[in-house]
Structure 1
Amino acid sequence: MPEALKSKPRHMYSIKLKRSLYGLKQSGRMWYNRLSEYLIKKGFCHNQISPCLFIKRTESGFVIIAVYVDDLNIIGSPEEIRQAADYLKSEFEMKDLGTTKYCLGLQFEHTKGGIFIHQSNYIEKVLKRFHMNNAHPLSTPMVVRSLDVNKDPFRPPTHNNEILGPEVPYLSAIGALMYLANNTRPDIAFSVNLLARYSSTPTKRHWNGVKHILRYLRGTSDMGLYFERHENAKATNLVGYSDAGYLSDPHKAISQSGYVFMYGGTAISWRSTKQTLVATSSNHAELIALYEAGRECVWLRSLIHYVCESCGLEPIEKSPTVIYEDNTACIA
């Protein structure tokens, strides 16, 4: 600190920074601008569809750099990966960890037939954190709900129910489960979404529902997503599935939307959420869900076409993507 400022009261002076420091609100954006400017100078391209995906096509192949803040995953042939790493090392301080085996809580197992992505280590940490590592495992992520709204284990709290205090880590558990549901475990997406609605007023019933999911995870900690290697590009077409649960929340007369998109036989995008509109019929609820699935489909198709075109790969078929729907009125 300059000597002239030490004699003044602390609230009467300020210091202008010459560069952004770690932790400032603008640091993330300035780092992204710095990195993208350098990669574009080296021949990489990106667009608004996925601004954190940088692609460079060369005579011998292609290289893709996926950016998450300061964590970078490089995809391509060994020679292209080495050159991209050299580019980055020449400009930034970088630690090369080799083949990606662990990133952002996700584990990657590479085999001759494909890549298996799971979060078994993360699940074990979550179970220990909430003292459920020795609990009896269960085969389903939630209990069967009663048709009687007064007996529904997930009904809203009443004046007779005691709201759990901060000593019960309900919000922490919901956050941990949401991270799993959003990354590698679509099978718990619905139950986590349902219990997250009571984050402000959880009761013992809802906490038991959280522990039920944790018991289910203990018995299925080795489950994940397996992306199989396909020699034929036609085997990797995009396929979608859409569904809705009419009045799945009978207490507020709200329905549930859900969809999943498969690429090469593996889920790449999914969602389970409460609808914001009151559906007047089952086909109305299905139309709302299908609309949300259609929006996601447009973005996924744009992303896949962009990656294939930038890498010089065979794109997916120009024909419309099939989204399967089980409601006749909605299909008509």
Structure 2
Amino acid sequence: MTADAICTKRRPLETLLRALTEGSPDTSVLGSAFEYVADLALWSSPEFGARIKQIWRWEDWPGAQGRDLGIDRVISTVDGELWALQAKGYSSATSLKYAGKGGIATFLAAASTGQFAMQLVVTSSDRVADNARQIAARQLVPTRILDRSWLDSLDLDWPTGITDLRDAVAAAARGQGPAQVSLAAGRHQLAPHQETAVKDVVTCLASQSTGDARAKLLMPCGTGKTVTCHAVTESLGARQILVLVPSLSLLAQAMRAWQAQSLGRLRVIAVCSDESVVARDDAIVMNPSEIMAPVTTESKALASFLAGSGVQADGELWPTVVFSTYHSWDCCTDR
């Protein structure tokens, strides 16, 4: 059975969440079981999965000092970073708050020690209070809120109960199980017309003797331009890539598609230099909690990112990709 066939019959997250609350006096609270849901989701995601080296429970992390103040997991990455994670498992009707019982304020305070390069909040709720998003966006440490819609977007065949869930998380840590099937299923096979387009572009570029070889690829809407362009860069063995798109919403879509096609093995950054754009339709996407990558508005920060050594895992140096809107072109070219 192929990965695509498995994913067409995958069990939804809702089935697992109901199983985790069976027999509980309060079916709106998932408790510590949801932490394993967060683990499996992160291992399975194209944005984060390939970067994760190990996930510790707080009490098992070698650097833990004192009692848990809201950090449920500590994640180490293949490029040497540490991330802090809080899992918030509630019913979909319960709103994720900033302050008070069930809020994220204590977690953000506990994680803001300088040890962590990223703060992640995974919630089963599809409701996030405005002040929670706003305060998360203003954190000095990049903070991402991964809500129910993000969980449901994963191509994951969710386990049937807590035992299967723990087994799936353990398998993911070994590079096996449903998490790996999910990552593989996210990569689309090229259609014949896309394979032809890739071959034609590569041939066109190879036929030019100049150092600034160029090619133009024209494809109608809905024919897979994003997947095709990604395949061109793979065929060329490109190491540094700039992807320009018309809007911030398309930037987020293109980034996720590229990450899926690369099985997450990309080093990415998003560029938005004109903050006035935020006032229009793309405002919610521009929130750093919505873009699953570093975001910058400054050319110096971009230059520093490009000068970095990159991510090397299993002996492979990952390509670096800059995603930018047309509006932000000046930020990409300013020296």
TM-score bracket for this pair, using the shorter chain length: under 0.3
TM-score using structure 2 length: 0.27
Q: Hey, which of these two has a bigger chunk of strand by percent? A: 1
- Structure with max Cα Rg: 1
TM-score using structure 1 length: 0.28
Point out which structure has higher relative CO (alpha carbons under 8 A, 6+ apart).
2
